[in-house]
Amino acid sequence: MRRLFTYPYIVWLGLFVVAPILLVVFYAFSGTDADGNTYFTFSNITKFFEGIVEGQPVWERIYVRVAIRSLRMALQTTVICFVLGYPLAMILASKGFRDKPILLFLFILPLWMNFLVRTYGLMSILERNGIMNNILMRVGLPTIDILFTDTAVLLGMVYNFLPFMVLPIYTALTRMDKRIIEAAQDLGANPTNVFLHIIFPLSMPGVISGITMVFMPAAATFIIPNLLGGGQFFLLGNLVEQQFLRVGNWHFGSAVAVVMIILMVVSTFILSRFEKQEETSEGGMRL
Protein backbone atom coordinates (compact mmCIF):
# COMPACT_ATOMS: atom_id res chain seq x y z
CA MET A 1 0.00 0.00 0.00
CA ARG A 2 2.83 2.41 0.83
CA ARG A 3 4.49 1.65 -2.50
CA LEU A 4 1.27 2.55 -4.29
CA PHE A 5 1.33 6.05 -2.79
CA THR A 6 4.94 6.56 -3.97
CA TYR A 7 4.10 6.00 -7.66
CA PRO A 8 2.67 9.52 -8.30
CA TYR A 9 5.77 11.03 -6.73
CA ILE A 10 8.05 8.84 -8.85
CA VAL A 11 6.15 9.80 -12.03
CA TRP A 12 6.27 13.50 -11.11
CA LEU A 13 10.00 13.25 -10.31
CA GLY A 14 10.74 11.49 -13.58
CA LEU A 15 8.75 13.89 -15.76
CA PHE A 16 9.67 17.22 -14.21
CA VAL A 17 13.13 16.64 -12.69
CA VAL A 18 14.99 13.72 -14.26
CA ALA A 19 13.74 14.16 -17.85
CA PRO A 20 14.58 17.90 -18.09
CA ILE A 21 18.07 17.31 -16.64
CA LEU A 22 18.71 14.49 -19.12
CA LEU A 23 17.47 16.72 -21.95
CA VAL A 24 19.81 19.53 -20.89
CA VAL A 25 22.75 17.09 -20.68
CA PHE A 26 21.87 15.71 -24.14
CA TYR A 27 21.90 19.17 -25.72
CA ALA A 28 25.08 20.15 -23.84
CA PHE A 29 27.07 17.24 -25.30
CA SER A 30 25.62 17.24 -28.81
CA GLY A 31 25.64 19.34 -31.94
CA THR A 32 23.85 19.53 -35.28
CA ASP A 33 25.59 19.59 -38.66
CA ALA A 34 24.40 21.23 -41.87
CA ASP A 35 22.30 18.18 -42.80
CA GLY A 36 20.49 18.21 -39.47
CA ASN A 37 22.31 15.19 -38.08
CA THR A 38 23.09 15.10 -34.36
CA TYR A 39 26.59 14.19 -33.18
CA PHE A 40 28.37 13.89 -29.84
CA THR A 41 30.80 16.69 -28.93
CA PHE A 42 32.55 18.41 -26.04
CA SER A 43 32.82 21.68 -27.99
CA ASN A 44 29.88 23.30 -26.15
CA ILE A 45 31.57 22.76 -22.79
CA THR A 46 35.02 23.85 -23.98
CA LYS A 47 33.49 26.97 -25.55
CA PHE A 48 32.58 28.13 -22.04
CA PHE A 49 36.28 28.20 -21.09
CA GLU A 50 37.54 29.69 -24.35
CA GLY A 51 38.72 33.29 -24.50
CA ILE A 52 38.31 35.91 -27.18
CA VAL A 53 42.00 36.86 -26.99
CA GLU A 54 44.49 34.05 -27.59
CA GLY A 55 46.59 33.25 -24.52
CA GLN A 56 44.20 35.03 -22.17
CA PRO A 57 44.18 33.63 -18.60
CA VAL A 58 41.21 31.38 -17.83
CA TRP A 59 39.82 33.66 -15.10
CA GLU A 60 39.75 36.61 -17.53
CA ARG A 61 37.78 34.85 -20.26
CA ILE A 62 34.31 36.26 -20.84
CA TYR A 63 32.13 33.34 -19.74
CA VAL A 64 34.39 32.43 -16.84
CA ARG A 65 34.15 36.04 -15.66
CA VAL A 66 30.36 35.71 -15.73
CA ALA A 67 30.62 32.58 -13.55
CA ILE A 68 33.00 34.29 -11.12
CA ARG A 69 30.71 37.33 -10.93
CA SER A 70 27.70 35.09 -10.27
CA LEU A 71 29.49 33.22 -7.47
CA ARG A 72 30.76 36.49 -5.98
CA MET A 73 27.29 38.06 -5.97
CA ALA A 74 25.77 34.89 -4.51
CA LEU A 75 28.44 34.79 -1.80
CA GLN A 76 27.93 38.45 -0.92
CA THR A 77 24.16 37.91 -0.77
CA THR A 78 24.60 34.87 1.49
CA VAL A 79 26.94 36.69 3.88
CA ILE A 80 24.65 39.73 4.16
CA CYS A 81 21.58 37.54 4.66
CA PHE A 82 23.41 35.60 7.39
CA VAL A 83 24.61 38.77 9.18
CA LEU A 84 21.10 40.23 9.09
CA GLY A 85 19.17 37.00 9.50
CA TYR A 86 20.87 35.30 12.43
CA PRO A 87 20.27 38.10 15.00
CA LEU A 88 16.70 38.44 13.75
CA ALA A 89 16.14 34.69 14.11
CA MET A 90 17.50 34.87 17.67
CA ILE A 91 15.11 37.72 18.48
CA LEU A 92 12.18 35.76 17.08
CA ALA A 93 13.19 32.64 19.02
CA SER A 94 13.64 34.46 22.34
CA LYS A 95 11.03 33.81 25.02
CA GLY A 96 10.39 37.44 25.92
CA PHE A 97 9.61 38.64 22.39
CA ARG A 98 5.89 39.44 22.37
CA ASP A 99 5.46 40.50 18.73
CA LYS A 100 6.81 37.21 17.36
CA PRO A 101 3.63 36.21 15.43
CA ILE A 102 3.38 39.63 13.78
CA LEU A 103 7.02 39.70 12.67
CA LEU A 104 6.86 36.11 11.44
CA PHE A 105 3.76 37.00 9.44
CA LEU A 106 5.55 40.00 7.91
CA PHE A 107 8.43 37.73 6.87
CA ILE A 108 6.19 35.08 5.36
CA LEU A 109 3.82 37.56 3.65
CA PRO A 110 6.21 38.51 0.78
CA LEU A 111 6.65 34.82 -0.02
CA TRP A 112 2.94 34.67 -0.89
CA MET A 113 3.51 37.17 -3.69
CA ASN A 114 5.06 36.40 -7.04
CA PHE A 115 8.85 36.78 -7.23
CA LEU A 116 8.51 39.06 -10.26
CA VAL A 117 5.97 41.30 -8.50
CA ARG A 118 8.27 41.70 -5.49
CA THR A 119 11.17 42.70 -7.74
CA TYR A 120 9.04 45.23 -9.64
CA GLY A 121 7.95 46.65 -6.30
CA LEU A 122 11.56 47.13 -5.27
CA MET A 123 12.21 48.87 -8.60
CA SER A 124 9.51 51.43 -7.82
CA ILE A 125 11.19 52.10 -4.47
CA LEU A 126 14.74 52.48 -5.87
CA GLU A 127 14.06 54.43 -9.06
CA ARG A 128 15.13 58.07 -9.36
CA ASN A 129 11.65 59.42 -8.66
CA GLY A 130 10.71 56.52 -6.43
CA ILE A 131 9.49 56.29 -2.87
CA MET A 132 12.95 56.27 -1.27
CA ASN A 133 14.19 59.41 -3.03
CA ASN A 134 10.92 61.23 -2.32
CA ILE A 135 11.34 60.50 1.39
CA LEU A 136 14.98 61.67 1.29
CA MET A 137 13.98 64.93 -0.43
CA ARG A 138 11.24 65.61 2.11
CA VAL A 139 13.67 65.29 5.04
CA GLY A 140 16.30 67.43 3.28
CA LEU A 141 18.79 64.66 2.49
CA PRO A 142 20.49 64.16 -0.90
CA THR A 143 18.87 61.63 -3.22
CA ILE A 144 20.66 58.47 -4.35
CA ASP A 145 20.65 56.83 -7.75
CA ILE A 146 21.44 53.12 -7.32
CA LEU A 147 18.98 51.57 -9.77
CA PHE A 148 20.69 49.66 -12.60
CA THR A 149 23.84 49.18 -10.56
CA ASP A 150 25.40 46.16 -8.87
CA THR A 151 24.28 47.63 -5.53
CA ALA A 152 20.64 47.45 -6.65
CA VAL A 153 21.12 43.85 -7.80
CA LEU A 154 22.69 42.91 -4.47
CA LEU A 155 19.91 44.69 -2.56
CA GLY A 156 17.29 42.90 -4.62
CA MET A 157 18.85 39.52 -3.88
CA VAL A 158 19.04 40.22 -0.15
CA TYR A 159 15.44 41.47 -0.14
CA ASN A 160 14.11 38.38 -1.93
CA PHE A 161 16.22 35.71 -0.23
CA LEU A 162 16.50 36.97 3.38
CA PRO A 163 13.42 35.00 4.58
CA PHE A 164 15.06 31.79 3.35
CA MET A 165 17.94 32.45 5.75
CA VAL A 166 15.86 33.54 8.74
CA LEU A 167 13.25 30.78 8.80
CA PRO A 168 15.60 27.73 8.92
CA ILE A 169 17.74 29.34 11.63
CA TYR A 170 14.62 30.28 13.58
CA THR A 171 13.38 26.68 13.35
CA ALA A 172 16.74 25.32 14.58
CA LEU A 173 16.80 27.76 17.50
CA THR A 174 13.24 26.98 18.60
CA ARG A 175 13.93 23.22 18.53
CA MET A 176 17.07 23.60 20.64
CA ASP A 177 17.03 21.93 24.06
CA LYS A 178 16.96 24.91 26.41
CA ARG A 179 18.13 22.74 29.31
CA ILE A 180 21.63 22.69 27.82
CA ILE A 181 21.74 26.49 27.91
CA GLU A 182 20.41 26.57 31.47
CA ALA A 183 23.03 24.01 32.54
CA ALA A 184 25.81 26.12 31.03
CA GLN A 185 24.52 29.23 32.77
CA ASP A 186 24.34 27.35 36.09
CA LEU A 187 27.97 26.36 35.63
CA GLY A 188 28.97 30.01 35.30
CA ALA A 189 29.19 30.48 31.51
CA ASN A 190 28.71 34.08 30.41
CA PRO A 191 26.38 34.97 27.49
CA THR A 192 29.27 35.11 25.00
CA ASN A 193 30.48 31.61 25.87
CA VAL A 194 26.92 30.28 25.84
CA PHE A 195 26.42 31.62 22.32
CA LEU A 196 29.81 30.55 20.90
CA HIS A 197 29.96 27.08 22.45
CA ILE A 198 26.28 26.05 22.66
CA ILE A 199 23.75 28.15 20.74
CA PHE A 200 25.70 28.65 17.53
CA PRO A 201 26.96 25.02 17.20
CA LEU A 202 23.47 23.65 17.87
CA SER A 203 21.95 26.01 15.29
CA MET A 204 24.38 24.96 12.54
CA PRO A 205 21.87 22.68 10.74
CA GLY A 206 19.61 25.71 10.30
CA VAL A 207 22.56 27.87 9.24
CA ILE A 208 23.64 25.31 6.62
CA SER A 209 20.07 25.03 5.32
CA GLY A 210 19.78 28.81 5.14
CA ILE A 211 23.09 29.16 3.30
CA THR A 212 22.03 26.50 0.79
CA MET A 213 18.59 28.06 0.26
CA VAL A 214 20.12 31.51 -0.35
CA PHE A 215 23.33 30.72 -2.24
CA MET A 216 21.83 28.35 -4.83
CA PRO A 217 19.03 30.59 -6.18
CA ALA A 218 21.20 33.71 -5.88
CA ALA A 219 23.84 32.15 -8.14
CA ALA A 220 21.24 31.11 -10.73
CA THR A 221 18.82 34.05 -10.73
CA PHE A 222 18.24 36.11 -13.87
CA ILE A 223 15.10 38.16 -13.11
CA ILE A 224 16.82 40.40 -10.53
CA PRO A 225 19.85 41.30 -12.74
CA ASN A 226 17.52 41.91 -15.68
CA LEU A 227 15.23 44.31 -13.83
CA LEU A 228 17.37 45.94 -11.14
CA GLY A 229 20.58 45.79 -13.15
CA GLY A 230 19.01 46.96 -16.38
CA GLY A 231 20.65 44.07 -18.23
CA GLN A 232 24.08 45.58 -17.56
CA PHE A 233 25.12 42.94 -15.00
CA PHE A 234 25.31 39.56 -16.65
CA LEU A 235 25.13 36.47 -14.43
CA LEU A 236 24.99 32.78 -15.32
CA GLY A 237 21.19 32.77 -15.26
CA ASN A 238 21.13 35.66 -17.74
CA LEU A 239 23.58 33.83 -19.99
CA VAL A 240 21.37 30.72 -20.06
CA GLU A 241 18.29 32.85 -20.76
CA GLN A 242 20.08 34.66 -23.58
CA GLN A 243 21.23 31.47 -25.28
CA PHE A 244 17.81 29.80 -25.08
CA LEU A 245 15.41 32.68 -25.73
CA ARG A 246 17.35 35.26 -27.75
CA VAL A 247 20.20 33.54 -29.58
CA GLY A 248 18.44 30.20 -29.98
CA ASN A 249 21.62 28.22 -29.29
CA TRP A 250 20.18 25.48 -27.11
CA HIS A 251 23.41 23.48 -27.21
CA PHE A 252 25.60 26.18 -25.66
CA GLY A 253 22.79 27.28 -23.34
CA SER A 254 22.56 23.71 -22.05
CA ALA A 255 26.34 23.59 -21.64
CA VAL A 256 26.22 26.71 -19.46
CA ALA A 257 23.38 25.11 -17.46
CA VAL A 258 25.51 21.97 -16.97
CA VAL A 259 28.42 24.08 -15.71
CA MET A 260 26.02 25.84 -13.34
CA ILE A 261 24.66 22.48 -12.11
CA ILE A 262 28.22 21.26 -11.47
CA LEU A 263 28.98 24.40 -9.45
CA MET A 264 25.79 23.86 -7.42
CA VAL A 265 26.59 20.19 -6.80
CA VAL A 266 30.13 21.02 -5.65
CA SER A 267 28.81 23.74 -3.34
CA THR A 268 26.18 21.39 -1.92
CA PHE A 269 28.80 18.68 -1.38
CA ILE A 270 31.05 21.08 0.52
CA LEU A 271 28.16 22.28 2.68
CA SER A 272 26.99 18.72 3.37
CA ARG A 273 30.49 17.69 4.44
CA PHE A 274 30.63 20.68 6.76
CA GLU A 275 27.20 19.82 8.15
CA LYS A 276 28.28 16.23 8.86
CA GLN A 277 31.34 17.49 10.74
CA GLU A 278 29.11 19.78 12.82
CA GLU A 279 26.70 16.92 13.57
CA THR A 280 29.62 14.75 14.69
CA SER A 281 30.98 17.42 16.99
CA GLU A 282 27.47 18.15 18.27
CA GLY A 283 26.98 14.48 19.09
CA GLY A 284 30.28 14.43 20.95
CA MET A 285 29.29 17.52 22.93
CA ARG A 286 25.99 15.92 23.95
CA LEU A 287 27.76 12.78 25.08
What pLDDT, on the 0 to 100 scale, is given for residue 130? Answer: 84
Q: How confident is the model at residue 282 (pLDDT cuts 50, 70, 90)?
A: low
Does pLDDT of 165 surpass 90? Answer: yes
What pLDDT, on the 0 to 100 scale, is given for residue 229? Answer: 87
What secondary structure does DSSP assign to the chain, as a single string?
-HHHHHHHHHHHHIIIIIHHHHHHHHHHTEEE-TTS-EEE-SHHHHHHT--SSTT--GGGSHHHHHHHHHHHHHHHHHHHHHHHHHHHHHHHHSTT-TTHHHHHHHHHGGGGS-HHHHHHHHHHHHSTTSHHHHHHHHTTPPP---TTSHHHHHHHHHHHHHHHHHHHHHHHHHTS-HHHHHHHHHTT--HHHHIIIIIHHHTHHHHHHHHHHHHHHHHH--HHHHHHSTT-S--HHHHHHIIIIII--HHHHHHHHHHHHHHHHHHHHHHHHHHHHHHHHHHHHH-
Question: pLDDT tens digits, residue range 176-198?
Answer: 888 888 888 888 889 899 998 89
The angle that helices 150-174 and 100-108 make with each other, rounded to 10 degrees, is 130
State the residue range of the domain holding 128. 66-286
Q: What's the total number of domains in the chain?
A: 1
Judged by average pLDDT, the poorest of 106-110, 135-139, 208-212 is: 106-110
What pLDDT, on the 0 to 100 scale, is given for residue 87? Answer: 93
What pLDDT, on the 0 to 100 scale, is given for residue 243? Answer: 92
Q: Do the Cβ atoms of 91 and 98 come closer than 8 Å?
A: no
What pLDDT, on the 0 to 100 scale, is given for residue 287? Answer: 46
What pLDDT, on the 0 to 100 scale, is given for residue 115? Answer: 87
Burial of 195 (0-12, 13-18, 19+ CB in 10 A): middle
Q: Does 215 fall in a domain?
A: yes
What pLDDT, on the 0 to 100 scale, is given for residue 33? Answer: 84
CA–CA separation, 95 and 174 (whole Å)? 10
Does pLDDT of 277 surpass 60? Answer: yes
Distances from the Cα of 179 to the Cα of 108, 219, 255, angstroms: 29, 39, 52
Global confidence as pTM: 0.86
Distances from the Cα of 245 to the Cα of 5, 19, 45, 50, 240, angstroms: 38, 20, 19, 22, 8
What pLDDT, on the 0 to 100 scale, is given for residue 58? Answer: 65
CATH of the domain at 147: 1.10.3720.10
Question: pLDDT tens digits, residue range 24-45?
Answer: 999 999 998 878 788 999 999 9
Q: What percent of the chain has pLDDT over 90?
A: 35
Q: Does 60 fall in a domain?
A: no
Q: Does 220 fall in a domain?
A: yes
Position 4, amino acid: L
Number of neighbouring beta carbons within 10 Å of residue 249:
16
What pLDDT, on the 0 to 100 scale, is given for residue 78? Answer: 95
Q: Do the Cβ atoms of 20 and 8 come closer than 8 Å?
A: no
Q: Does 56 fall in a domain?
A: no
Q: Does 93 fall in a domain?
A: yes
Q: Does 226 fall in a domain?
A: yes
Does pLDDT of 52 surpass 60? Answer: no
Q: Does 52 fall in a domain?
A: no
What pLDDT, on the 0 to 100 scale, is given for residue 159? Answer: 92
The top-scoring range by mean pLDDT among 18-27, 139-148, 268-277 is: 18-27
Q: Does 99 fall in a domain?
A: yes
CA–CA separation, 167 and 206 (whole Å)? 8
Q: Do the Cβ atoms of 81 and 165 come closer than 8 Å?
A: yes
Question: pLDDT tens digits, residue range 62-94?
Answer: 888 899 999 999 999 999 999 999 999 998 888
Judged by average pLDDT, the poorest of 161-170, 253-262, 275-284 is: 275-284
